[in-house]
């Protein structure tokens, strides 16, 4: 840096480090951190979201972080959780959560797309990209195929 240029000093990083204002960005997403809360971890700058991601798993049903907890059937729509609208976002701060479909979930956020029953520890079927409990699957998606009776055959004997 040239003498007289504006510089950002980050106290958490130590006074021997400085950045051009345009270079003071999150190491994960490149979000500009000037005039924002920043985090310093293992020699790198982070925005709040990515620092949180490095500390705790993020719920697959919430995606973002907030400080309000909601249940599966209250405070959010099922459509929102499965990628079709805004959601109530959270990091998982609880020690009790489940892992399914390659993601971590609050226990009450991993629920049936049809009836909202909690699926943690239960049998479920993925219908498209949405988990469905076994009873809802049987009622709404399963194809019932009946075998013909032994006396019913397509050929007749003469």
Q: What is the pLDDT of residue 89?
A: 53
Check whether 77 has a pLDDT greater than 60: no
Residue count of the chain, please give it.
Answer: 158
Instruction: Quote the pTM value.
Output: 0.50
Q: Which fold is adopted by the domain 8-54?
A: 2.10.110
Q: How far apart are CA 119 and CA 131, in angstroms?
A: 8
Same fold across 8-54 and 56-66+81-144: yes
Torsion sign across C-alpha atoms 91, 128, 77, 28: positive
28 pLDDT tier (thresholds 50, 70, 90) = very high
Strand partners, 99: 104
**Contact call for residues 106 and 60 (beta carbons, < 8 A):** no
Neighbours of 81 (CB within 10 A): 23
Residue of 119, 118, 53, 50 lying closest to 91 (CA atoms): 53
Per-residue pLDDT tens over the stretch 53-66: 787 777 777 664 33
Q: What is the pLDDT of residue 130?
A: 85
CATH code given to domain 56-66+81-144? 2.10.110.10
Q: Give residue limits of the domains in the chain.
A: 8-54, 56-66+81-144
Per-residue pLDDT tens over the stretch 99-152: 888 888 888 888 898 998 999 888 999 988 888 999 999 999 887 666 766 665
């Amino acid at each position: 840096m040239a003498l007289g240029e504006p510089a950002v000093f980050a106290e958490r990083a130590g006074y021997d480090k400085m950045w051009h204002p345009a270079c003071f960005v999150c190491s994960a997403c490149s979000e500009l951190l000037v005039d924002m809360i920043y985090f310093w971890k293992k020699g790198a700058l982070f925005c709040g979201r990515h620092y949180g991601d490095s500390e705790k798993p993020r719920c697959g049903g919430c995606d973002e972080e907030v400080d309000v907890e909601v249940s599966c059937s209250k405070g959010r729509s099922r459509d929102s959780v499965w990628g079709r609208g805004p959601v109530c976002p959270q990091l998982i701060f609880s020690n009790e959560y489940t892992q399914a479909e390659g993601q971590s979930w609050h226990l009450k956020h991993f629920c049936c797309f049809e009836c909202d029953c909690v699926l943690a520890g239960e049998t479920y079927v993925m219908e498209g990209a949405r988990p469905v409990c076994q009873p809802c699957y049987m009622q709404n998606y399963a194809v019932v195929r009946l075998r013909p009776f032994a006396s019913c055959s397509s050929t007749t004997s003469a």
